[in-house]
Amino acid sequence: MSHLVKPQSLPRRLLRTPQDLIAAGLAPPSQHAALQAVAQHYATAIPPAFLDLIEHPNDPIAIQVIPTPAELEVTPEERSDPIGDDALSPVPGIVHRYADRALLKPLLVCPLYCRFCFRREHVGPDGGLLDDAALERALEWLRTHPQIQEVILTGGDPLMLSARRLGQIMDALSAMPHVTTIRLHTRVPVAAPERVTEALLDTLESDKAVWMAVHINHARELSEPAKACLKQIVRRGIPLLGQSVLLRGVNDSEDALEALFRGMVAARMRPYYLHQLDPAPGTARFHVPVEEGQRLLAGLRGRVTGLAWPTYVLDIPGGYGKVPLGPGYVDGPRTVRDPEGKTHNLDRL
């Protein structure tokens, strides 16, 4: 498509509807009806910070957020709850799979809606905000489960909450003696950095260790405003982790991954997980086979700083947990491979 209107000439507002996308030159007018059909199932939001980064409707930024009619094509291996969250929810807003940690999902709103999202059946602009009573029940569940040492705030995106609401949650978690660590998973610092105000940062002050995992899939998402935002977060004593999904057309090359992970380290962020794509409905166009993912990571081993090497993980469909996917370098009881692929036999391993 060659009719993309230059971003500078576009109004700085959230694009939500098929009409918005067509007006911005991000979708052809001929797709209007098909995109209306997609909109019946899946939310769309393209915030100004992301729109600024789009150079072409097929570029690695654009394809993460622009809906396409292919989203209604579901392949046999895809499922609506790919990682089994629903079965692991003791009360609304809590997901508990591992003994020592639990997810708290206070809302299902995101700053943008990733077309490959594993929760795509659930997230959306008017969904899932826990009301006062439901939030209190979720907090009470955490209060009465002393084995929970780490609470992971996710959603949706916890930084889409008002400072008042987030502060209320942070205060409640900070008051739980058994909780040592509060982790927030968010895309806001890259998707809507202007939301990270001093007032919002104030709410993250806690005597507990607060960690933040930021979801970023392409080096270009680390724009100047995003990097400035991340710096402010680190200044508050919050260590940053980078979280990415391996995506066809976005980061499925050694060069793209190298630029992404190096960009994260330069932005004071430790690449944490590179996720294998979860089989959510209508996401087949983003799938990269695991052998290819292993090859890509192996290509970076030894070439880039160890700080820039994330764990490649699969969330086993059905709710069985996350496992590392390699690549591995042990080739037998006494054999190891080096980054160049040469094997070495050792007396002891």
Ligand X SMILES: *Cc1c(COP(=O)(O)O)cnc(C)c1O
Detail the residues annotated as belonging to a binding site. 110, 114, 117
Closest CA to 173 of 200, 209, 221, 201: 209
Among 97, 105, 119, 165, binds ligand SF4 (CB under 6 A): 119
Q: Does 117 bind ligand SF4 (CB under 6 A)?
A: yes
Q: Which of residues 145-164 bind ligand X (CB under 6 A)?
A: 152
149 or 294: whose CB is closer to ligand X?
149
Dist CA 78 CA 74 (whole Å): 6
Whether 227 is catalytic: no
Q: Does 220 bind ligand SF4 (CB under 6 A)?
A: no
Q: Binding site for [4Fe-4S] cluster: residue ranges?
A: 110, 114, 117
User: Which residue minimizes CB distance to ligand X?
Assistant: 97
Answer whether 233's CB lies under 8 Å from 201's CB: yes
- Binding span for ligand X by CB under 6 A among 61-69, 92-100, 118-126, 295-303: 92-100
Active-site hit among 117, 157, 195, 273:
117
Residue 235's contacts (CB-CB under 8 Å, 6 or more residues apart) are none
Burial label for 167, CB within 10 Å (0-12, 13-18, 19+), is middle
- Beta strand pairing call for 330-332 and 335-337: antiparallel
Active-site hit among 97, 115, 183, 262:
97
Buried b (16+ CB within 10 A) or exposed e, 316-340: ebebeebeebebeeeeeeeeebeee
> ∠ CA(237), CA(239), CA(242), 5° rounding?
150
Positions touching ligand X (CB under 6 A) are: 83, 95, 97-98, 101, 103, 152, 322
Q: Which residues are annotated as catalytic?
A: 97-98, 101, 110, 114, 117, 119, 278, 315, 322
| Residues of the shown chain interacting with ligand SF4 in the complex, contacts defined by CB under 6 A | 110, 113-114, 117, 119, 123, 156-157, 187, 215
